[in-house]
Amino acid sequence: MSSEKADLYSRITNRIVSELEKGVRPWLKPWNAEHAAGRITRPLRHNGEPYRGINVLMLWGEAMNSNFICPIWMTYKQAQELGAQVRKGEHGAQVVYADRIHRTETGKNGEDIEREIPFLKGYTVFNCEQIDGLPAGYLAPAAPVLDPVQRIALAETFFGNTNADIRHGGGRAYYNISSDFVQMPPFETFKDAESYYGVFGHELCHWTRHEKRLNREFGRKRWGDEGYAAEELVAELGSAFLSADLGITPEPREDHASYIANWLEVLKNDKRAIFTAAAHAERAVAFLHGLQRQATEGDGEMEAA
C-alpha cells in the first residue's frame, strides 16, 4: 500500500474513532430542515448525484461540525465553472475516489499477465455555504415538507417490496439467519414511527447478509467478537443510508450504544475497516433498492396481463 493511500485510510479512520470515543456516532444526524434539496438527504455532488459509501460519513461529519444546512458539495474548479468563487480562508473537506487500474505484466514464462490494482485518491470539496456567487438553486430555502404520513407510507411500501419474512411480536428486534426471518416488536411499542422504521431498516440490512443474497460474512464465531461488531457496523451504517434515502430521521438505538466499544476495537485494529463497512452497507442498501425495481416490474407485468 502506498504511503499516500495508507495515510488516507488512517486520517479518515482516526477522525471517526475520535467521534466514537466522545460517544458520538457521526452518521446519526444526516438531516437538515431548511434546504430545498431535502429535510433529510445524503450529501450531494454539484450535479445532484448522491455521494456513496465512506464519503457519506465523511461529509455528514463535516456538515455537523460546521453546522452546514446545504447538503451540496463541489470542487473549487466546479464552483468556478458555475461563475462562483470559494471564499478566501475557507477550508475544504476531503472525499476519496476508489477505482482500479489494469496493468499487463510479463510472467516467469514470458506470458502476459493482466493485473487489477485498486487505488484510493483523495480530493477536496467545499460546501455551497462556503461559496459566493452560486446560482440561486444551490442555496434555495426549503419548500414546505411533504406530509409525514406520506413519507411513512413510502417506507412501508419500500419494506413490503422486499418480500422478506417479517414477524411481529415480542420485545426484541433481530434477524434470524438460520430460519431467514426478521423479528420486529409491534409497531405500537416504539416511541414514534421513525424509530420503528429505522430499526426495521437495520434488521433488513442484516437480512441481506444471507448466502442467497449478498453472502456477507466476517468470520463471526460468537456474540460480541470482531466479526459480530463488523456486521453490526454494516447494519448501523446501512440503516442511516437507507433512512436518508427514504426521508426518515434516523433515531439512535439505546441498545446499540454498547457497540461503540466493539466498533472502536475493530477500527483501531484495521484502518480499512470503516471503508469496508461503508462499502458493504452501500451494497446492502443498493440490494434493497433493487428489490423495489423488481416489485415495480412485476406489478407492470400483472397489469399488462
Strands 166-168 and 181-184: parallel
pLDDT for 221: 62
Q: Which of 8, 63, 62, 9 lies closest to 31 in space, CA to CA?
A: 63
User: Which amino acid is present at 151?
Assistant: R
How far apart CA 61 and CA 67 sit, in angstroms, is 10
How far apart CA 96 and CA 47 sit, in angstroms, is 17
Q: What is the mean pLDDT of the chain?
A: 86
Please work out, in degrees rounded to the nearest 5, the angle formed at the alpha carbon of residue 255 by the alpha carbons of 253 and 257. Answer: 80
Q: Name the grid cell of 136.
A: 440561486
Strands 112-127 and 73-74: antiparallel
pLDDT for 109: 77
pLDDT for 51: 95
pLDDT tens digit string along 234-290?
999 999 999 999 988 777 666 666 778 889 989 999 999 999 999 999 999 999 999
Tell me the pLDDT band of 104, cut-offs 50, 70 and 90.
confident
pLDDT tens digit string along 170-215?
989 999 999 999 999 998 888 888 889 999 999 999 999 999 999 9
Q: Which of 15, 2, 75 lies closest to 45 in space, CA to CA?
A: 75
* Cut 0.75: pTM above it: yes
Q: Name the grid cell of 113.
A: 499477465
The answer to whether 58 and 237 are in contact (CB under 8 A) is no
| Structural element, H or E, at residue 112 | strand 112-127
Top pLDDT among 14 and 258 is at 14
Residues in contact with 87: Cβ distance below 8 Å, sequence separation at least 6, in sequence order: 130, 131, 132
Residues in contact with 30: Cβ distance below 8 Å, sequence separation at least 6, in sequence order: 40, 41, 42, 43, 56, 60, 63, 240, 243, 244, 250
How far, in whole angstroms, is CA 113 from its chain's centroid? 36
Tell me the pLDDT band of 99, cut-offs 50, 70 and 90.
confident
pLDDT for 225: 75
Q: Is the dihedral of CA 237, 224, 288, 174 positive or negative?
A: negative
The answer to whether 169 and 185 are in contact (CB under 8 A) is yes
pLDDT of 302 over the 70 cut: no
How far apart CA 19 and CA 37 sit, in angstroms, is 27
Q: Largest Cα–Cα distance in the chain?
A: 69
Tell me the pLDDT band of 29, cut-offs 50, 70 and 90.
low
Q: What is the mean pLDDT of residues 71-94?
A: 96
pLDDT of 305 over the 50 cut: no
pLDDT for 120: 79
Q: What is the mean pLDDT of residues 38-59?
A: 89
Q: What is the mean pLDDT of residues 114-129?
A: 86
Top pLDDT among 101 and 227 is at 227
